Structure 1
Amino acid sequence: MAAILNVRAVLRGYRLTPTVAEALTRLLDDHVASIHSRTRISGKALSIKTQEYRVRAICGALVELRQGGFALESPWNLRRKHIEWLVRHWVDAKQSGGTIENKLTYLRALAGWMGKDNMVGTLSDYVDREASGLVRSYVAEVDRSWSGNGINAAEKIAEIAVTCPRVAVQLKLQVAFGLRIEESFLLRPLEAVKDTGMLDVTRGTKGGRKREVPIEVKIAVLEEAARLANPLTGSTIPADRTLKQWLNRYKAVLRKHGIVKKGLGITSHGLRHQYLQELYEKVSGVPAPIKLADTRPDPELHKEAMRRVVEAAGHSRVTKANAYLSTFARQERLAKPSPTIDEAAKALEAAGGNKTHAAAALGISRQALYRLLEAA
Structure 2
Amino acid sequence: MAAILNVRAVVRGYRLTPTVAAALITLFDVHVASVHSRTRISAKPLSIKTQEYRVRGICAALVELREGGFPIASPWNVRHKHIEWLVQHWVRAKQTGGTIENKLTYLRALCEWMSKSNLVGTLADYVDRRENGLVRSYVAEVDRSWEANGVSAHEKIAEIATTCPRVAVQLKLQVAFGLRVEESFLLRPVEAVKDAGLLGVTRGTKGGREREVPIEVKIAVLEEAARLANPRTGSTIPEDRTLEQWRDRYYYVLERHGITKSGLGVTSHGLRHQYLQELYEKTSGAPAPIKQQGMRPDPELHAEAMRRVVAAAGHSRVTKANAYLSTFARQERLARPNPTIDEARAALETAGGNKTHAAAALGISRQALYRLLNAA
Q: How many positions carry a matched residue from both structures?
A: 376
What whole-Å deviation, never above 9, does each CA across 1:68-112 have from its counterpart, x for those lacking one? 111211111111111000000010111111111000000000111
Q: 1:234, 1:71 → 2: CA distance?
A: 51
Q: 2:369, 2:210 → 1: CA distance?
A: 42
Correspondence for 1:39: 39
SS of the residue aligned with 2:133? coil
Deviation at 1:211, TM superposition (A): 0.4
What whole-Å deviation, never above 9, does each CA across 1:162-206 have from its counterpart, x for those lacking one? 111111111000000000001001100010001251000001111
Q: Which amino acid aligns with 1:235?
A: S
Correspondence for 1:195: 195
Q: 1:270, 1:324 → 2: CA distance?
A: 9
Deviation at 1:264, TM superposition (A): 0.8
What whole-Å deviation, never above 9, does each CA across 1:200-258 have from its counterpart, x for those lacking one? 00011111111000001100000000011110111111111111111111111111111
- Do structure 1's residue 65 and structure 2's residue 65 form an aligned pair? yes
SS of the residue aligned with 1:163? coil
Higher deviation after alignment, 344-353 or 328-337: 344-353
Q: Which amino acid aligns with 1:161?
A: A
Q: 2:170, 2:280 → 1: CA distance?
A: 23
Correspondence for 1:226: 226
Q: What does 1:247-326 correspond to in 2, within 5 Å? A: 247-326=247-326
- Do structure 1's residue 79 and structure 2's residue 79 form an aligned pair? yes
Q: What does 1:319-334 correspond to in 2, within 5 Å? A: 319-334=319-334
Q: 1:319, 1:21 → 2: CA distance?
A: 42
Q: 2:374, 2:279 → 1: CA distance?
A: 42
Higher deviation after alignment, 181-190 or 10-19: 10-19
Higher deviation after alignment, 65-74 or 338-347: 65-74
Q: Report the identity percentage.
A: 82
Q: 1:237, 1:100 → 2: CA distance?
A: 34
Q: 1:121, 1:196 → 2: CA distance?
A: 48
Q: 2:148, 2:323 → 1: CA distance?
A: 15
SS of the residue aligned with 1:199? strand
Correspondence for 1:156: 156
Deviation at 1:129, TM superposition (A): 0.8
Deviation at 1:18, TM superposition (A): 2.0
Q: Which amino acid aligns with 1:172?
A: K
Q: Which amino acid aligns with 1:103?
A: K
Correspondence for 2:88: 88
Q: 1:195, 1:268 → 2: CA distance?
A: 28
Q: CA RMSD in A?
A: 0.8
Q: 1:247, 1:21 → 2: CA distance?
A: 30
Higher deviation after alignment, 307-316 or 9-18: 9-18
**Which runs of no fewer than 5 residues in structure 2 stay unpaired?**
none
**Which runs of no fewer than 5 residues in structure 1 stay unpaired?**
none
Q: What does 1:95-174 correspond to in 2, within 5 Å? A: 95-174=95-174
Higher deviation after alignment, 192-201 or 215-224: 192-201
Q: Which amino acid aligns with 2:27?
A: L
Q: Which amino acid aligns with 1:30?
A: V
